[in-house]
Amino acid sequence: MVQKAIIGGTGVYQLGGKGCRQDIKTPYGTVRLYIQRADGGDIAFLPRHGEGHSLPPHRINYRANIKALKQLGVKRVLATAAVGSLNPSFPPGSLVVLDQFIDFTKTRAVTFYDGEEGVIHADMADPYCPELISALEKKGKHTGAGIEGRGTYICVEGPRFETKAEIKYFRLIGGDMVGMTNVPEVVLARELGLCYSAVGIVTNWCNGMVEKPISHHEIFEIMKRGRDKLTGLFTDVFASEQYGNKCSCSKGIIRL
| Structural domain boundaries in the chain | 4-255
What's residue 164's pLDDT? 94
What's residue 160's pLDDT? 94
Q: What is the pLDDT of residues 76-113, one digit of tens each?
A: 999 999 999 999 999 999 999 999 999 999 999 999 99
Q: What is the mean pLDDT of residues 211-222?
A: 76
CA distances (Å), 61 to each of 116, 181, 196, in order? 20, 11, 18
Domain 4-255: assigned CATH number: 3.40.50.1580
E strand or H helix at 120, and its extent? strand 120-122
Distance CA 135, CA 143 (A): 12
Q: Is the peptide bond before 184 cis (omega within 30 degrees of 0)?
A: yes
Q: How confident is the model at residue 68 (pLDDT cuts 50, 70, 90)?
A: very high
Which is more confident, 217 or 69?
A: 69
Q: How confident is the model at residue 254 (pLDDT cuts 50, 70, 90)?
A: confident
Distance CA 139, CA 230 (A): 11
Closest CA to 97 of 51, 142, 137, 47: 137
Q: What is the pLDDT of residues 158-186, one digit of tens each?
A: 999 999 999 999 999 999 999 999 999 99
Distance CA 84, CA 82 (A): 7
Q: β-strands 4-8, 120-122: how paired?
A: unpaired
DSSP state of 173: T
Alpha helices in 78-208 (DSSP H): 130-143, 164-172, 182-191
pLDDT at 11 over 60: no
Query: Which residues have a Cβ under 8 Å from the Cβ of 223 and sit 6 or more positions away?
Result: 10, 11, 82, 201, 203
What's residue 58's pLDDT? 95
DSSP 8-69: E-TT----SS--EEEEEEETTEEEEEEEE--TTS-EEEEETTTTTT-S-GGG--HHHHHHHH
pTM, rounded to two decimals:
0.93
